[in-house]
Amino acid sequence: MVTVSNPPNSPRSAKKPAGTPPVIGAAPVGSRDPESAARAVREMFTSIAPRYDLLNHVLSFNVDRFWWRRTARSFAQVLARPDARVLDLCCGTGDMTLALHRKAATPEIVGVDFSHAMLERASKKSSSLRWVEADALCLPFPASHFDLVTSAFGFRNFADYDAGLREILRVLRDGGECGILDFGEPRGVIGKLYRIYFQHVLPALGTLISGVKGPYAYLPASVERFPEPKEMLERMRHAGFREVSWTPYSFGIAGLFRGKK
Ligand SMILES: C[S@@+](CC[C@H](N)C(=O)[O-])C[C@H]1O[C@@H](n2cnc3c(N)ncnc32)[C@H](O)[C@@H]1O
Protein backbone atom coordinates (compact mmCIF):
# COMPACT_ATOMS: atom_id res chain seq x y z
CA MET A 1 0.00 0.00 0.00
CA VAL A 2 1.32 3.44 -0.89
CA THR A 3 0.22 6.26 1.34
CA VAL A 4 1.48 9.70 0.51
CA SER A 5 1.35 12.84 2.53
CA ASN A 6 3.03 14.84 -0.23
CA PRO A 7 1.96 13.34 -3.58
CA PRO A 8 3.48 14.44 -6.90
CA ASN A 9 1.50 16.69 -9.20
CA SER A 10 -0.80 15.04 -11.72
CA PRO A 11 -0.16 15.54 -15.47
CA ARG A 12 -2.94 18.12 -15.58
CA SER A 13 -1.26 20.48 -13.08
CA ALA A 14 1.35 21.28 -15.71
CA LYS A 15 -1.44 22.57 -17.97
CA LYS A 16 -2.96 24.86 -15.32
CA PRO A 17 -1.85 28.43 -16.07
CA ALA A 18 0.06 30.04 -13.21
CA GLY A 19 -2.11 32.24 -11.00
CA THR A 20 -5.30 30.22 -11.68
CA PRO A 21 -7.54 30.96 -8.66
CA PRO A 22 -8.40 27.95 -6.47
CA VAL A 23 -11.65 26.21 -7.34
CA ILE A 24 -14.41 26.89 -4.79
CA GLY A 25 -16.44 23.79 -5.55
CA ALA A 26 -18.41 21.85 -8.14
CA ALA A 27 -19.96 23.90 -10.93
CA PRO A 28 -22.28 21.91 -13.20
CA VAL A 29 -23.02 23.56 -16.55
CA GLY A 30 -25.44 26.47 -16.11
CA SER A 31 -24.77 27.04 -12.40
CA ARG A 32 -23.89 30.62 -11.44
CA ASP A 33 -23.10 30.40 -7.73
CA PRO A 34 -22.73 27.77 -4.96
CA GLU A 35 -26.50 27.72 -4.37
CA SER A 36 -27.41 26.97 -7.98
CA ALA A 37 -24.50 24.49 -8.19
CA ALA A 38 -25.85 22.53 -5.20
CA ARG A 39 -29.36 22.58 -6.69
CA ALA A 40 -28.07 21.31 -10.05
CA VAL A 41 -26.10 18.50 -8.34
CA ARG A 42 -29.16 17.41 -6.32
CA GLU A 43 -31.40 17.41 -9.39
CA MET A 44 -28.79 15.50 -11.38
CA PHE A 45 -28.49 12.67 -8.84
CA THR A 46 -32.24 12.57 -8.38
CA SER A 47 -32.65 12.13 -12.14
CA ILE A 48 -30.31 9.12 -12.28
CA ALA A 49 -31.32 7.54 -8.94
CA PRO A 50 -33.42 4.73 -10.52
CA ARG A 51 -30.43 3.49 -12.54
CA TYR A 52 -27.60 4.64 -10.25
CA ASP A 53 -26.56 1.24 -8.85
CA LEU A 54 -26.65 -0.53 -12.19
CA LEU A 55 -24.64 2.24 -13.84
CA ASN A 56 -22.10 2.33 -11.02
CA HIS A 57 -21.35 -1.36 -11.28
CA VAL A 58 -21.31 -1.49 -15.09
CA LEU A 59 -19.19 1.63 -15.59
CA SER A 60 -16.67 0.72 -12.89
CA PHE A 61 -16.54 -2.99 -13.87
CA ASN A 62 -17.63 -3.69 -10.28
CA VAL A 63 -14.41 -2.24 -8.86
CA ASP A 64 -16.55 0.21 -6.85
CA ARG A 65 -17.41 -2.60 -4.40
CA PHE A 66 -13.71 -3.22 -3.80
CA TRP A 67 -13.06 0.51 -3.18
CA TRP A 68 -15.90 0.79 -0.61
CA ARG A 69 -14.72 -2.36 1.19
CA ARG A 70 -11.11 -1.21 1.19
CA THR A 71 -12.13 2.16 2.64
CA ALA A 72 -14.19 0.51 5.37
CA ARG A 73 -11.28 -1.82 6.19
CA SER A 74 -8.91 1.08 6.58
CA PHE A 75 -11.05 2.40 9.45
CA ALA A 76 -11.32 -1.04 11.13
CA GLN A 77 -9.94 0.28 14.41
CA VAL A 78 -12.57 2.91 14.98
CA LEU A 79 -15.35 0.68 13.57
CA ALA A 80 -14.43 -2.06 16.07
CA ARG A 81 -15.43 0.20 18.98
CA PRO A 82 -18.98 -0.65 20.09
CA ASP A 83 -19.67 2.97 21.07
CA ALA A 84 -18.25 4.67 17.95
CA ARG A 85 -20.48 7.13 16.10
CA VAL A 86 -20.11 7.01 12.33
CA LEU A 87 -21.39 9.38 9.65
CA ASP A 88 -21.33 8.55 5.93
CA LEU A 89 -21.85 11.74 3.94
CA CYS A 90 -23.29 11.71 0.42
CA CYS A 91 -24.37 8.13 1.05
CA GLY A 92 -26.46 7.98 -2.14
CA THR A 93 -27.99 4.52 -2.38
CA GLY A 94 -26.03 3.45 0.69
CA ASP A 95 -23.28 1.08 -0.49
CA MET A 96 -20.43 2.81 1.36
CA THR A 97 -22.62 3.03 4.48
CA LEU A 98 -23.36 -0.70 4.27
CA ALA A 99 -19.68 -1.53 3.77
CA LEU A 100 -18.96 0.39 7.01
CA HIS A 101 -21.84 -1.39 8.75
CA ARG A 102 -20.48 -4.82 7.82
CA LYS A 103 -17.17 -4.01 9.50
CA ALA A 104 -18.65 -2.25 12.50
CA ALA A 105 -19.28 -3.32 16.08
CA THR A 106 -21.29 -0.14 16.57
CA PRO A 107 -24.93 0.28 15.59
CA GLU A 108 -24.50 4.09 15.47
CA ILE A 109 -24.11 4.61 11.72
CA VAL A 110 -25.87 7.43 9.89
CA GLY A 111 -26.05 7.94 6.13
CA VAL A 112 -26.70 11.49 4.89
CA ASP A 113 -27.65 12.67 1.43
CA PHE A 114 -29.60 15.62 0.05
CA SER A 115 -31.30 13.64 -2.73
CA HIS A 116 -34.51 12.09 -1.43
CA ALA A 117 -34.67 9.65 -4.36
CA MET A 118 -31.18 8.30 -3.60
CA LEU A 119 -31.98 7.94 0.12
CA GLU A 120 -35.21 6.06 -0.64
CA ARG A 121 -33.13 3.40 -2.37
CA ALA A 122 -30.64 3.32 0.52
CA SER A 123 -33.39 2.76 3.08
CA LYS A 124 -34.72 -0.19 1.06
CA LYS A 125 -31.30 -1.87 1.39
CA SER A 126 -31.28 -1.54 5.17
CA SER A 127 -33.99 -0.32 7.49
CA SER A 128 -31.81 -0.79 10.59
CA LEU A 129 -29.43 2.05 9.66
CA ARG A 130 -30.38 5.71 10.06
CA TRP A 131 -30.80 7.69 6.83
CA VAL A 132 -31.00 11.47 7.05
CA GLU A 133 -31.89 13.89 4.27
CA ALA A 134 -29.60 16.91 4.68
CA ASP A 135 -27.00 19.09 2.99
CA ALA A 136 -23.47 18.05 3.95
CA LEU A 137 -22.47 21.71 4.13
CA CYS A 138 -25.00 22.36 6.90
CA LEU A 139 -25.40 19.20 8.95
CA PRO A 140 -28.18 18.72 11.53
CA PHE A 141 -25.76 17.29 14.13
CA PRO A 142 -24.09 18.85 17.17
CA ALA A 143 -20.41 19.73 17.18
CA SER A 144 -17.84 17.09 18.21
CA HIS A 145 -20.36 14.24 17.79
CA PHE A 146 -18.79 11.65 15.45
CA ASP A 147 -15.73 9.42 15.69
CA LEU A 148 -15.59 8.83 11.95
CA VAL A 149 -16.92 10.78 8.95
CA THR A 150 -16.63 9.28 5.47
CA SER A 151 -17.72 10.29 2.01
CA ALA A 152 -17.47 8.15 -1.13
CA PHE A 153 -17.60 9.93 -4.48
CA GLY A 154 -19.67 12.73 -2.95
CA PHE A 155 -17.25 15.37 -1.70
CA ARG A 156 -16.20 16.29 -5.27
CA ASN A 157 -19.78 17.45 -5.85
CA PHE A 158 -19.82 19.97 -2.99
CA ALA A 159 -20.51 23.54 -4.00
CA ASP A 160 -17.75 24.67 -1.62
CA TYR A 161 -14.92 22.24 -0.76
CA ASP A 162 -13.43 24.30 2.08
CA ALA A 163 -16.86 24.79 3.67
CA GLY A 164 -17.37 21.00 3.40
CA LEU A 165 -14.08 20.33 5.20
CA ARG A 166 -14.95 22.83 7.94
CA GLU A 167 -18.36 21.18 8.46
CA ILE A 168 -16.79 17.70 8.69
CA LEU A 169 -14.30 19.03 11.20
CA ARG A 170 -17.09 20.63 13.24
CA VAL A 171 -19.05 17.38 13.68
CA LEU A 172 -15.95 15.27 14.42
CA ARG A 173 -14.87 14.87 18.03
CA ASP A 174 -11.22 15.53 18.93
CA GLY A 175 -9.17 12.59 17.64
CA GLY A 176 -11.99 11.64 15.23
CA GLU A 177 -11.11 10.55 11.70
CA CYS A 178 -12.22 11.57 8.26
CA GLY A 179 -12.03 9.54 5.03
CA ILE A 180 -12.84 11.03 1.65
CA LEU A 181 -12.87 8.55 -1.22
CA ASP A 182 -13.03 10.06 -4.67
CA PHE A 183 -11.87 9.75 -8.23
CA GLY A 184 -8.39 10.83 -9.27
CA GLU A 185 -6.45 11.13 -12.48
CA PRO A 186 -3.96 8.29 -12.95
CA ARG A 187 -0.62 9.01 -14.60
CA GLY A 188 1.40 7.28 -17.34
CA VAL A 189 0.08 4.86 -19.93
CA ILE A 190 -2.77 3.72 -17.66
CA GLY A 191 -3.72 7.38 -17.27
CA LYS A 192 -3.88 7.88 -21.05
CA LEU A 193 -6.05 4.80 -21.57
CA TYR A 194 -8.21 5.68 -18.61
CA ARG A 195 -8.79 9.23 -19.90
CA ILE A 196 -10.08 7.85 -23.21
CA TYR A 197 -12.49 5.63 -21.32
CA PHE A 198 -13.52 8.26 -18.78
CA GLN A 199 -13.97 11.19 -21.18
CA HIS A 200 -15.50 9.39 -24.17
CA VAL A 201 -16.74 5.85 -23.50
CA LEU A 202 -18.19 6.39 -20.02
CA PRO A 203 -20.31 9.48 -20.87
CA ALA A 204 -21.73 7.71 -23.94
CA LEU A 205 -22.55 4.49 -22.05
CA GLY A 206 -23.88 6.39 -19.03
CA THR A 207 -26.19 8.46 -21.19
CA LEU A 208 -27.40 5.37 -23.05
CA ILE A 209 -28.21 3.35 -19.92
CA SER A 210 -29.62 6.19 -17.79
CA GLY A 211 -31.46 7.94 -20.60
CA VAL A 212 -30.25 11.25 -19.07
CA LYS A 213 -27.57 13.29 -20.86
CA GLY A 214 -26.05 15.75 -18.33
CA PRO A 215 -24.70 13.64 -15.42
CA TYR A 216 -22.28 11.49 -17.36
CA ALA A 217 -20.70 14.46 -19.10
CA TYR A 218 -20.52 16.22 -15.73
CA LEU A 219 -18.61 13.30 -14.14
CA PRO A 220 -15.29 13.65 -16.06
CA ALA A 221 -15.56 17.45 -15.95
CA SER A 222 -16.00 17.37 -12.17
CA VAL A 223 -12.99 15.09 -11.72
CA GLU A 224 -10.84 17.39 -13.84
CA ARG A 225 -12.00 20.37 -11.78
CA PHE A 226 -11.43 18.66 -8.41
CA PRO A 227 -8.22 19.70 -6.60
CA GLU A 228 -5.41 17.24 -7.20
CA PRO A 229 -4.16 15.31 -4.14
CA LYS A 230 -1.39 17.75 -3.24
CA GLU A 231 -3.79 20.70 -3.17
CA MET A 232 -6.55 18.76 -1.45
CA LEU A 233 -4.18 17.75 1.36
CA GLU A 234 -3.13 21.38 1.71
CA ARG A 235 -6.79 22.40 1.99
CA MET A 236 -7.34 19.72 4.64
CA ARG A 237 -4.35 20.99 6.66
CA HIS A 238 -5.58 24.55 6.28
CA ALA A 239 -9.07 23.56 7.50
CA GLY A 240 -7.44 22.14 10.65
CA PHE A 241 -6.97 18.42 9.93
CA ARG A 242 -3.75 16.76 11.04
CA GLU A 243 -1.97 13.57 9.87
CA VAL A 244 -3.43 14.06 6.40
CA SER A 245 -2.62 11.52 3.69
CA TRP A 246 -3.80 10.24 0.34
CA THR A 247 -3.75 6.57 -0.69
CA PRO A 248 -4.21 5.87 -4.41
CA TYR A 249 -6.57 3.02 -5.29
CA SER A 250 -6.28 1.14 -8.61
CA PHE A 251 -3.35 3.14 -10.02
CA GLY A 252 -4.86 6.42 -8.78
CA ILE A 253 -8.19 6.03 -10.61
CA ALA A 254 -9.59 6.63 -7.14
CA GLY A 255 -7.94 7.48 -3.84
CA LEU A 256 -8.64 7.90 -0.15
CA PHE A 257 -7.90 11.17 1.65
CA ARG A 258 -7.56 10.78 5.40
CA GLY A 259 -7.20 13.24 8.21
CA LYS A 260 -7.70 13.53 11.96
CA LYS A 261 -9.21 16.25 14.08
C1 LIG B 1 -21.70 9.84 -6.84
S2 LIG B 1 -22.94 9.72 -5.62
C3 LIG B 1 -22.11 8.71 -4.42
C4 LIG B 1 -23.07 7.85 -3.64
C5 LIG B 1 -22.40 6.80 -2.75
N6 LIG B 1 -21.60 7.39 -1.72
C7 LIG B 1 -21.57 5.86 -3.58
O8 LIG B 1 -20.36 5.71 -3.32
O9 LIG B 1 -22.14 5.24 -4.49
C10 LIG B 1 -22.85 11.32 -4.88
C11 LIG B 1 -23.96 11.59 -3.87
O12 LIG B 1 -23.62 12.79 -3.17
C13 LIG B 1 -24.81 13.48 -2.89
N14 LIG B 1 -24.43 14.86 -2.58
C15 LIG B 1 -23.71 15.70 -3.35
N16 LIG B 1 -23.55 16.88 -2.74
C17 LIG B 1 -24.19 16.77 -1.54
C18 LIG B 1 -24.38 17.66 -0.45
N19 LIG B 1 -23.91 18.91 -0.46
N20 LIG B 1 -25.06 17.22 0.62
C21 LIG B 1 -25.58 15.96 0.65
N22 LIG B 1 -25.44 15.09 -0.35
C23 LIG B 1 -24.75 15.49 -1.44
C24 LIG B 1 -25.65 13.27 -4.14
O25 LIG B 1 -27.02 13.50 -3.93
C26 LIG B 1 -25.33 11.83 -4.50
O27 LIG B 1 -26.26 10.94 -3.95
Pocket of ligand 1 contains residue 222 by CB under 6 Å: no
pLDDT of residue 8: 59
Q: In the prediction, which pLDDT does 199 show?
A: 85
Q: For ligand 1, what atom is nearest to the CA of residue 88? A: 6
Q: Would you list the domain boundaries of the chain? A: 28-260
Task: List Cβ neighbours of 219 (8 Å cut-off, separation of 6 or more).
Answer: 198, 202, 203, 206
Chain centroid, CA 179 distance in Å = 9
Q: How many whole angstroms separate alpha carbon 83 and alpha carbon 142? A: 17
Is residue 52 lining ligand 1, measured as CB closer than 6 Å? no
Does residue 154's CB lie within 6 angstroms of at least one atom of ligand 1? yes
φ, ψ for residue 246, nearest 5 deg: -130, 130
* Alpha-carbon span 118 to 114, nearest angstrom: 8
Q: Is the CB of 88 under 6 A from ligand 1?
A: no
pLDDT score of 219: 87
Q: Which CATH class is domain 28-260?
A: alpha beta
| Burial of 63 per CB tally in 10 Å (0-12, 13-18, 19+) | middle
Q: How far is the CA of 167 from the centre of ligand 1 (A)?
A: 15
pTM: 0.93
Residue-wise pLDDT tens for the chain (261 aa)?
Answer: 455 666 655 555 545 666 677 899 998 988 899 999 999 999 999 999 998 898 888 888 889 999 999 999 999 999 999 999 999 999 999 999 999 999 999 999 999 999 999 999 999 999 889 999 999 999 999 999 999 999 999 999 999 999 999 999 999 999 999 999 999 989 898 889 988 888 888 888 888 887 887 777 888 889 999 999 999 999 999 999 999 999 999 999 999 999 999
